[in-house]
Amino acid sequence: MNIKTYSPFSVPLGVIGGSGAYNLLAEDVLGREQACTTIETPFGESAPIHRFRAGELEYVFLSRHGEKDYSITAPFVNYRANIYALKACGVERIVSWSGPGIINTAFKPGDYVLPHDIIDETRTRETTFFKNRGIGFIRQNEPFCPQIRQMTHDSLHSLGFSHYEEAIYVCTEGPRLETPAEIRKFRLTGGDLVGMTLAPETFLARELEICYAPVCYLTNYAEGVADRKFEAGQLFEGMQNEQERSQVQESVSRFPRILAAALTKLAECDRTCQCKKAMQRYKDKGMIDDDWRNWVSPA
């Protein structure tokens, strides 16, 4: 693996892998690896970026939590470096996966959900590329790319994997899990799922005019939603029973098929969403030019 200040390749499709991505990398089930590089950015070094080929499909893959076990918790992921690096690799669309907990009991562990909206409850993360700049007032009427959401829906449907098409994802700071009172608050504000990773990731992608949407597999009921005995040494200290753990593992194991189907559909269609025009008014006013590298404010 080489560390570079530029990308040695240009690939329009990208995947950000969530919890368990490191296992799929180790199991060598994501396609044939062509190259791996780390990009040095104005915000520090990115996570390793793997270039894969599966048949005629080519994409890049980044594991946000590290490549050996869960080595980087959500609040310490360098989101700006990762999104900048993917842009430098030519990525125009990102399919992200995340494993949130459940607030709304209409859902159960192991389910697939395509969130349509997000509540950002993070507190200390760097949330913009435009620090100390007079730009970045970007609409968030659809914080997740509708075109990616549609292609992912079609892919899950074609594979016969049941899923839910809408949910509001609440993003918390972490790494601690939420208290029962916090979960009650999130429920009152309309939250369906609770996780730690989609903010500021989705907002940073929009700032660089990259399409971004997540596929969530649900891992456990959030604190206070289901009565669970504390079990020392267990994953989530007992918030997930054995049957639920098996359901979640099966859901994760299907991700290579889901990604291949969704990315194939995306590769076959042009970008028709508004994501690619997020910064258009600033270009029209002459505040920025067409070189996205000139938009950002270094660290």
10 Å Cβ neighbour count for 276? Answer: 15
> What pLDDT was estimated at residue 5?
60
> Hey, what amino acid is at 158?
S
- Any idea of the CA torsion for 65, 99, 120, 132, to the nearest 10 degrees? 20
- Map residue 215 onto helix, strand or coil: strand
> What pLDDT was estimated at residue 4?
59
CA 267/CA 269 separation, integer angstroms: 6
Tell me what the mean pLDDT of segment 285-292 comes to: 96
> Residue 185 above 80 pLDDT?
yes
Tell me what the mean pLDDT of segment 145-156 comes to: 98
- The confidence band for 18, taking pLDDT boundaries of 50, 70 and 90, is confident
* pLDDT one-digit tens code per residue, 204-250: 999 999 999 999 999 999 999 998 888 887 767 778 899 999 999 99
* pLDDT one-digit tens code per residue, 246-277: 999 999 999 999 999 999 999 999 999 999 99
Tell me what the mean pLDDT of segment 183-205 comes to: 98
Mean pLDDT of the chain: 93
Instruction: Parse the chain into domains and list their residue ranges.
Output: 2-294
> What pLDDT was estimated at residue 31?
84
CATH class of the 2-294 domain in this structure: alpha beta
What b-and-e string marks burial along 2-16, b requiring 16 or more CB atoms within 10 Å of the CB?
eeeeebeeebbbbbb
> Residue 200 above 80 pLDDT?
yes
Phi and psi for 232 in degrees, rounded to 5?
-60, 135
Beta carbons of 113 and 218 less than 8 angstroms apart: yes
- The confidence band for 160, taking pLDDT boundaries of 50, 70 and 90, is very high
Report the run of H or E that residue 44 belongs to, with start and end.
strand 44-45
Report the run of H or E that residue 193 belongs to, with start and end.
strand 193-195
- The confidence band for 130, taking pLDDT boundaries of 50, 70 and 90, is very high
* pLDDT one-digit tens code per residue, 56-98: 899 999 999 988 878 899 999 999 999 999 999 999 999 999 9
Highest averaged pLDDT of the listed ranges 14-18, 56-60, 197-201: 197-201
